């Protein structure tokens, strides 16, 4: 059968999702835990809903793999719990149609970038929000964020050197909430370019701080010039909030209409 897992992880100790040769990643850690929980050898071929960067967290990450384990899916979170470190947790498991692929079947994702303002970085915010020394102008950020909604060429918001087929993505919403001391940028799209959310957050902060004009986003979408956008903010402020395979987010959205890959 194919099993899909809903994970939550604090990514601050990991070099992202994807297995790497010389660094500990979430995929590798989860794969080893599945091996030990199911007794499978070699470990499962594990697909994840996206390649979160080093230091990025996930509130609801979906991974999938084929398994012959007799552990009932609803008991799987308890079965694997003891083999996982405390910063990774399987919250749910569900059998899904064969051919389901956590990455390719995904139709949209939502990320949240959290920022706080203080005179010096605060220990309680470490690894969960990005520090800024200036207060936020939420109105300016909200207005610039609205300009991102729609189908655009997001080249200006993509780290240089990344090789993607097309820089065109559709942003369904980009909402800014909070106040001058704390801001959440919530952005949902059918896909994201490399570092896209962190560059968008950096650009909105530049608009907030007056380093870029209020219409900067509009111009950037036309120019496609990465050098004119804001900086790439640190990964600690970013978390993958939820992913969709159907109408509902997460595992609940995986129904008979889900895109399958064989």
Which of 2, 5, 9, 200 touches a copy of itself by CB under 8 A? 9
Note whether 76 binds a copy of itself by CB under 8 A.
no
* Ordered DSSP codes for 22-63: SS--HHHHHHHHHHHHH--SS----EES--PPTT-EEEEEEE
Q: Give the burial string for 39-49 (b: 16+ CB within 10 Å, else e).
A: ebeebbebbbb
Q: From residue 23, how far is each of 15, 28, 29, 209, 259 by CA, in Å? A: 6, 9, 11, 36, 32
Does 215 qualify as catalytic in the annotation? no
Q: What is the DSSP letter of 201?
A: H
Which of 32, 51, 126, 259 touches a copy of itself by CB under 8 A? 126
| Binding piece for a copy of itself, criterion CB under 8 A, among 30-38, 75-83, 105-113, 215-223 | 75-83
Note whether 77 binds a copy of itself by CB under 8 A.
yes
Catalytic-role residue among 10, 53, 87, 252: 53
As a whole number of angstroms, the distance between CA 247 and CA 163 comes to: 30
> What residues between 83 and 122 interact with a copy of itself by CB under 8 A?
86-89, 91, 119-122
Residue with Cβ nearer a copy of itself (54 or 149): 54
Residue with Cβ nearer a copy of itself (128 or 219): 128
Residue with Cβ nearer a copy of itself (8 or 71): 8
Residues belonging to the active site:
53
């Amino acid at each position: 059968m194919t099993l899909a897992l809903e994970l939550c992880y604090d990514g601050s100790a990991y070099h992202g999702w994807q297995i790497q040769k010389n660094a500990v990643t979430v995929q590798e850690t989860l794969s080893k835990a599945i091996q030990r929980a199911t007794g499978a050898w070699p470990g499962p071929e594990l697909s994840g809903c996206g390649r979160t960067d080093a230091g990025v967290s996930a509130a609801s990450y979906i991974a999938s793999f084929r398994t012959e384990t007799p552990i009932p899916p609803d008991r799987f979170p308890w079965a694997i719990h003891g083999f996982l470190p405390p910063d990774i947790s399987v919250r749910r498991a569900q059998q899904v149609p064969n051919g389901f692929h956590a990455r390719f079947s995904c139709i949209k994702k939502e990320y949240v970038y959290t920022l706080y303002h203080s005179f010096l970085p605060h220990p309680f915010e470490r690894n969960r929000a990005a520090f800024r020394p200036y207060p936020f102008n939420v109105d300016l950020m909200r207005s610039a964020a609205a300009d991102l909604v729609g189908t655009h060429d997001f080249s200006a918001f993509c780290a240089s050197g990344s090789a993607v087929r097309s820089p065109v993505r559709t942003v369904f919403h980009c909402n800014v909430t909070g106040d001058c001391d704390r801001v959440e940028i919530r952005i949902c799209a059918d896909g994201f370019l490399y570092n896209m959310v962190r560059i968008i957050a950096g650009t909105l902060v530049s608009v907030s701080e007056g380093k870029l004009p209020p219409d900067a986003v509009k111009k950037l979408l036309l120019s496609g010039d990465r050098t004119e956008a804001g900086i790439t903010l640190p990964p600690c402020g970013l978390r993958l909030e939820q992913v969709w395979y159907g109408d509902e987010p997460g595992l609940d959205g995986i129904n008979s209409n889900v895109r399958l890959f064989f």
